[in-house]
Amino acid sequence: MHESVAFSQLIDYAGLFPPATLAMEPAIAEYAALRTLPQAWMLGRFILPLSSLRAFCAAKGTQRFPVSLILDGLDDEAAFAAAFARVASLGDSVNVEAFEIPVSCSISPERLATLAERSNIGAMPIFCEVRLDESLPECLDRVHAAGLGAKVRCGGMVATAYPSSEQLARFLVEVARVGIAFKATAGLHHPICGVRDEHNGATMHGFLNMLVGATLARRGGRMESIISILESQDASAFAYDGHTLRFSTETISQSELRDVRSGAFTSYGSCSFREPLTDLQTLGMVESA
Protein backbone atom coordinates (compact mmCIF):
# COMPACT_ATOMS: atom_id res chain seq x y z
CA MET A 1 0.00 0.00 0.00
CA HIS A 2 1.58 3.26 -1.15
CA GLU A 3 0.14 6.75 -1.58
CA SER A 4 -3.62 6.69 -1.10
CA VAL A 5 -6.42 9.13 -1.76
CA ALA A 6 -7.80 8.93 1.77
CA PHE A 7 -4.69 10.35 3.44
CA SER A 8 -2.90 12.25 0.67
CA GLN A 9 -1.75 15.63 2.05
CA LEU A 10 -4.26 15.19 4.85
CA ILE A 11 -2.14 16.48 7.74
CA ASP A 12 -1.11 20.13 7.79
CA TYR A 13 1.82 20.60 10.15
CA ALA A 14 1.07 22.91 13.10
CA GLY A 15 4.21 22.44 15.20
CA LEU A 16 4.23 26.12 16.21
CA PHE A 17 0.95 25.65 18.07
CA PRO A 18 -0.02 23.95 21.36
CA PRO A 19 0.54 21.46 22.72
CA ALA A 20 3.85 21.16 20.82
CA THR A 21 4.51 24.95 20.76
CA LEU A 22 7.88 24.59 19.05
CA ALA A 23 10.08 27.60 18.35
CA MET A 24 10.38 28.55 14.68
CA GLU A 25 13.72 26.88 13.90
CA PRO A 26 12.84 23.48 15.48
CA ALA A 27 9.42 23.55 13.77
CA ILE A 28 11.00 24.21 10.37
CA ALA A 29 13.60 21.50 11.01
CA GLU A 30 10.89 18.98 11.90
CA TYR A 31 8.82 19.84 8.84
CA ALA A 32 11.90 19.49 6.62
CA ALA A 33 12.60 16.09 8.21
CA LEU A 34 9.02 14.96 7.68
CA ARG A 35 9.31 15.80 3.99
CA THR A 36 12.03 13.13 3.67
CA LEU A 37 9.91 10.30 5.07
CA PRO A 38 8.47 7.60 2.77
CA GLN A 39 5.05 8.74 3.99
CA ALA A 40 5.65 12.41 3.16
CA TRP A 41 2.77 12.14 0.68
CA MET A 42 0.48 12.41 3.72
CA LEU A 43 2.01 15.75 4.72
CA GLY A 44 0.19 18.95 3.85
CA ARG A 45 1.13 22.58 4.37
CA PHE A 46 3.18 24.26 7.10
CA ILE A 47 0.70 26.27 9.17
CA LEU A 48 2.07 29.72 9.90
CA PRO A 49 0.53 32.74 11.64
CA LEU A 50 0.99 36.03 9.84
CA SER A 51 2.50 37.44 13.04
CA SER A 52 5.39 34.97 12.63
CA LEU A 53 5.97 35.50 8.92
CA ARG A 54 9.12 37.59 9.42
CA ALA A 55 10.63 34.97 11.75
CA PHE A 56 9.73 32.22 9.27
CA CYS A 57 11.46 34.03 6.41
CA ALA A 58 14.58 34.53 8.51
CA ALA A 59 14.73 30.90 9.71
CA LYS A 60 13.87 28.94 6.57
CA GLY A 61 16.84 30.04 4.51
CA THR A 62 16.46 28.93 0.89
CA GLN A 63 13.93 26.19 1.69
CA ARG A 64 10.52 26.52 0.05
CA PHE A 65 7.57 24.99 1.87
CA PRO A 66 3.88 25.09 1.03
CA VAL A 67 2.35 27.40 3.64
CA SER A 68 -1.14 27.91 5.00
CA LEU A 69 -1.11 31.41 6.44
CA ILE A 70 -3.35 32.27 9.40
CA LEU A 71 -4.24 35.96 9.21
CA ASP A 72 -4.07 36.59 12.94
CA GLY A 73 -4.06 39.93 14.76
CA LEU A 74 -6.00 41.85 12.09
CA ASP A 75 -9.03 43.92 13.03
CA ASP A 76 -10.17 45.95 10.02
CA GLU A 77 -10.37 45.88 6.23
CA ALA A 78 -7.25 47.98 5.79
CA ALA A 79 -5.22 45.48 7.80
CA PHE A 80 -6.51 42.53 5.75
CA ALA A 81 -5.88 44.38 2.49
CA ALA A 82 -2.33 45.12 3.63
CA ALA A 83 -1.81 41.46 4.59
CA PHE A 84 -2.97 40.20 1.19
CA ALA A 85 -0.78 42.79 -0.54
CA ARG A 86 2.19 41.74 1.59
CA VAL A 87 1.77 38.13 0.54
CA ALA A 88 1.42 39.14 -3.11
CA SER A 89 4.71 41.07 -2.83
CA LEU A 90 6.58 38.01 -1.52
CA GLY A 91 6.65 36.41 -4.95
CA ASP A 92 8.36 33.02 -4.94
CA SER A 93 10.23 33.59 -1.67
CA VAL A 94 7.36 32.16 0.41
CA ASN A 95 5.01 29.60 -1.11
CA VAL A 96 1.69 30.64 0.45
CA GLU A 97 -0.97 28.25 -0.87
CA ALA A 98 -3.92 29.00 1.41
CA PHE A 99 -5.25 31.42 4.02
CA GLU A 100 -7.01 30.72 7.29
CA ILE A 101 -9.24 33.33 8.92
CA PRO A 102 -9.66 33.25 12.74
CA VAL A 103 -13.14 32.97 14.21
CA SER A 104 -12.62 36.39 15.81
CA CYS A 105 -12.54 38.10 12.39
CA SER A 106 -15.25 40.76 12.07
CA ILE A 107 -14.90 41.16 8.31
CA SER A 108 -17.63 39.49 6.27
CA PRO A 109 -16.74 36.60 3.94
CA GLU A 110 -17.89 38.72 1.00
CA ARG A 111 -15.51 41.55 1.87
CA LEU A 112 -12.64 39.12 2.49
CA ALA A 113 -13.15 37.65 -0.97
CA THR A 114 -13.20 41.11 -2.50
CA LEU A 115 -10.05 42.22 -0.68
CA ALA A 116 -8.23 39.05 -1.72
CA GLU A 117 -9.27 39.47 -5.35
CA ARG A 118 -8.06 43.07 -5.43
CA SER A 119 -4.64 42.09 -4.08
CA ASN A 120 -3.77 39.88 -7.07
CA ILE A 121 -2.76 36.93 -4.91
CA GLY A 122 -4.34 34.52 -7.34
CA ALA A 123 -6.94 31.83 -6.75
CA MET A 124 -5.96 30.61 -3.29
CA PRO A 125 -8.36 28.83 -0.94
CA ILE A 126 -9.46 30.88 2.06
CA PHE A 127 -10.86 28.96 5.04
CA CYS A 128 -13.00 30.93 7.50
CA GLU A 129 -13.29 29.47 10.99
CA VAL A 130 -16.94 29.20 12.03
CA ARG A 131 -18.76 29.01 15.35
CA LEU A 132 -20.73 25.84 15.99
CA ASP A 133 -23.84 27.60 17.25
CA GLU A 134 -27.20 28.73 15.90
CA SER A 135 -25.47 31.13 13.50
CA LEU A 136 -23.82 28.25 11.59
CA PRO A 137 -26.30 27.80 8.68
CA GLU A 138 -26.38 31.52 7.83
CA CYS A 139 -22.62 31.82 8.24
CA LEU A 140 -21.95 28.92 5.87
CA ASP A 141 -24.40 30.35 3.35
CA ARG A 142 -22.33 33.55 3.30
CA VAL A 143 -19.03 31.65 3.12
CA HIS A 144 -20.38 29.70 0.17
CA ALA A 145 -21.71 32.81 -1.57
CA ALA A 146 -18.26 34.38 -1.26
CA GLY A 147 -16.58 31.34 -2.79
CA LEU A 148 -14.61 30.56 0.36
CA GLY A 149 -14.14 27.45 2.50
CA ALA A 150 -14.86 26.71 6.15
CA LYS A 151 -12.66 25.81 9.09
CA VAL A 152 -13.86 23.88 12.13
CA ARG A 153 -12.20 23.61 15.52
CA CYS A 154 -12.32 20.08 16.95
CA GLY A 155 -10.51 20.59 20.26
CA GLY A 156 -8.04 22.65 22.22
CA MET A 157 -6.08 23.01 25.41
CA VAL A 158 -9.22 23.09 27.59
CA ALA A 159 -11.98 20.47 27.61
CA THR A 160 -14.65 23.03 26.70
CA ALA A 161 -12.85 23.63 23.37
CA TYR A 162 -13.99 20.19 22.21
CA PRO A 163 -17.32 20.33 20.35
CA SER A 164 -19.86 17.61 20.93
CA SER A 165 -20.48 14.92 18.33
CA GLU A 166 -23.86 16.54 17.70
CA GLN A 167 -22.20 19.88 16.92
CA LEU A 168 -19.68 18.29 14.54
CA ALA A 169 -22.40 16.25 12.85
CA ARG A 170 -24.45 19.41 12.33
CA PHE A 171 -21.39 21.09 10.83
CA LEU A 172 -20.83 18.19 8.41
CA VAL A 173 -24.49 18.24 7.37
CA GLU A 174 -24.45 22.00 6.82
CA VAL A 175 -21.22 22.10 4.78
CA ALA A 176 -22.62 19.27 2.66
CA ARG A 177 -25.83 21.26 2.19
CA VAL A 178 -24.01 24.31 0.83
CA GLY A 179 -21.35 22.25 -0.92
CA ILE A 180 -18.12 23.84 0.31
CA ALA A 181 -14.74 22.46 1.26
CA PHE A 182 -13.49 22.63 4.82
CA LYS A 183 -10.43 22.00 6.92
CA ALA A 184 -10.29 21.08 10.58
CA THR A 185 -7.98 22.15 13.35
CA ALA A 186 -7.04 21.01 16.86
CA GLY A 187 -8.02 17.83 18.64
CA LEU A 188 -7.69 15.36 15.74
CA HIS A 189 -4.46 13.69 16.82
CA HIS A 190 -5.73 10.14 16.25
CA PRO A 191 -7.64 8.30 13.51
CA ILE A 192 -10.29 6.84 15.82
CA CYS A 193 -12.09 8.81 18.50
CA GLY A 194 -11.95 7.86 22.16
CA VAL A 195 -8.40 8.75 23.17
CA ARG A 196 -8.27 11.01 26.21
CA ASP A 197 -6.54 14.37 25.90
CA GLU A 198 -3.66 14.18 28.38
CA HIS A 199 -3.90 17.90 29.09
CA ASN A 200 -7.59 18.17 29.99
CA GLY A 201 -9.14 14.68 29.97
CA ALA A 202 -11.53 15.39 27.10
CA THR A 203 -12.41 12.59 24.70
CA MET A 204 -10.73 13.39 21.40
CA HIS A 205 -12.46 13.14 18.04
CA GLY A 206 -10.96 10.97 15.28
CA PHE A 207 -10.01 12.13 11.79
CA LEU A 208 -11.10 8.82 10.28
CA ASN A 209 -14.48 9.23 11.96
CA MET A 210 -14.63 12.72 10.44
CA LEU A 211 -13.78 11.43 6.96
CA VAL A 212 -16.50 8.79 7.04
CA GLY A 213 -18.95 11.25 8.61
CA ALA A 214 -18.25 13.86 5.92
CA THR A 215 -18.86 11.22 3.25
CA LEU A 216 -22.17 10.15 4.72
CA ALA A 217 -23.24 13.79 5.07
CA ARG A 218 -22.57 14.35 1.35
CA ARG A 219 -24.76 11.32 0.63
CA GLY A 220 -27.59 12.95 2.58
CA GLY A 221 -27.22 10.67 5.58
CA ARG A 222 -29.27 11.17 8.72
CA MET A 223 -27.90 13.14 11.65
CA GLU A 224 -28.26 10.14 13.94
CA SER A 225 -26.11 7.99 11.66
CA ILE A 226 -23.42 10.64 11.36
CA ILE A 227 -23.32 11.11 15.14
CA SER A 228 -22.95 7.36 15.53
CA ILE A 229 -20.00 7.36 13.13
CA LEU A 230 -18.32 10.26 14.92
CA GLU A 231 -18.69 8.48 18.27
CA SER A 232 -17.52 5.04 17.16
CA GLN A 233 -14.46 3.93 19.14
CA ASP A 234 -14.36 0.48 17.53
CA ALA A 235 -11.20 0.39 15.42
CA SER A 236 -12.24 -2.98 13.98
CA ALA A 237 -15.23 -1.29 12.34
CA PHE A 238 -12.87 0.66 10.06
CA ALA A 239 -10.91 -0.93 7.21
CA TYR A 240 -8.89 0.58 4.38
CA ASP A 241 -6.89 -1.23 1.72
CA GLY A 242 -5.56 1.83 -0.08
CA HIS A 243 -8.55 1.92 -2.42
CA THR A 244 -11.79 1.26 -0.55
CA LEU A 245 -12.65 2.61 2.90
CA ARG A 246 -15.15 0.64 4.93
CA PHE A 247 -16.99 1.44 8.12
CA SER A 248 -19.38 -1.21 9.38
CA THR A 249 -21.80 -1.68 6.47
CA GLU A 250 -20.74 1.50 4.66
CA THR A 251 -18.38 1.22 1.68
CA ILE A 252 -16.61 4.25 0.20
CA SER A 253 -14.96 3.82 -3.19
CA GLN A 254 -11.73 5.46 -4.26
CA SER A 255 -13.57 7.85 -6.59
CA GLU A 256 -15.93 8.91 -3.82
CA LEU A 257 -12.99 9.39 -1.45
CA ARG A 258 -11.33 11.60 -4.05
CA ASP A 259 -14.47 13.73 -4.28
CA VAL A 260 -14.79 14.02 -0.50
CA ARG A 261 -11.13 14.95 -0.03
CA SER A 262 -11.20 17.60 -2.75
CA GLY A 263 -14.68 19.00 -2.15
CA ALA A 264 -15.28 18.47 1.55
CA PHE A 265 -12.68 17.34 4.12
CA THR A 266 -9.49 18.72 2.56
CA SER A 267 -7.07 18.56 5.52
CA TYR A 268 -6.63 19.06 9.22
CA GLY A 269 -3.98 20.82 11.27
CA SER A 270 -1.95 18.84 13.80
CA CYS A 271 1.09 19.76 15.87
CA SER A 272 2.27 16.18 15.35
CA PHE A 273 2.59 14.28 12.08
CA ARG A 274 4.33 11.24 13.51
CA GLU A 275 1.61 10.39 16.05
CA PRO A 276 -1.25 9.98 13.54
CA LEU A 277 1.13 8.28 11.12
CA THR A 278 2.06 5.68 13.74
CA ASP A 279 -1.62 5.10 14.54
CA LEU A 280 -2.45 4.49 10.87
CA GLN A 281 0.48 2.10 10.56
CA THR A 282 -0.75 0.21 13.62
CA LEU A 283 -4.18 -0.07 11.99
CA GLY A 284 -2.52 -1.42 8.83
CA MET A 285 -3.81 1.47 6.70
CA VAL A 286 -0.38 2.94 5.88
CA GLU A 287 2.84 1.07 5.23
CA SER A 288 5.61 1.27 7.80
CA ALA A 289 8.32 1.82 5.19
Categorize the per-residue pLDDT at 91 as very low, low, confident or very high, splitting at 50, 70 and 90. Answer: confident
Per the CB < 8 A criterion, the answer to whether 269 and 184 are in contact is yes
pLDDT of residue 1: 53
Q: What is the pLDDT of residues 153-202, one digit of tens each?
A: 999 999 999 999 999 999 999 999 999 999 999 989 999 999 998 888 99
pLDDT at residue 84 greater than cutoff 70: yes
Distance CA 76, CA 11 (A): 31
Mean pLDDT of 219-236: 97
Angle between helices 207-218 and 165-178 (to 10 degrees): 40
pLDDT 10s digits, 204-218: 999 999 999 999 999
Tell whether the model's pLDDT for residue 74 goes beyond 60.
yes
Query: Which of 3.30.160, 3.40.1350, 2.60.120, 3.20.20 is the CATH number of 11-282?
Result: 3.20.20
**What are the residue boundaries of the structural domains of the chain, listed by start?**
11-282
- Asked if residue 276 lies in contact with residue 189, where contact means CB atoms within 8 angstroms, the answer is yes
Confidence (pLDDT) at 93: 85
SS (H, E, C) 110-171: HHHHHHHHHCCCCCCCEEEECCCCCCHHHHHHHHHHCCCEEEEECCCCCHHHCCCHHHHHHH
Determine what percent of the chain is predicted with pLDDT higher than 70. 99
The chain-wide mean pLDDT, for the chain, equals: 95
Percentage of residues in the chain with pLDDT exceeding 90? 90
C-beta atoms surrounding 190 within 10 Å: 20
Convert the pLDDT of each residue in 241-285 to its tens digit: 999 999 999 999 999 999 999 999 999 999 999 999 999 999 999
Q: What is the pLDDT at residue 158?
A: 93
What does the pLDDT look like over 11-70, one tens digit per residue?
Answer: 999 999 999 999 999 999 999 999 999 999 999 999 999 999 999 999 999 999 999 999
Q: What pLDDT is recorded for position 2?
A: 77
Which residue would you say has higher pLDDT here, 123 or 262?
262
DSSP 270: E
As a whole number, mean pLDDT of residues 77-84 equals 95
Query: Residue 131: which pLDDT band, with cuts at 50, 70 and 90?
Result: very high
Instruction: Output the pTM of the full model.
Output: 0.95
Backbone angles phi, psi at 201, to 5 degrees: 80, 0
Strand 250-252, strand 66-70: pairing: unpaired
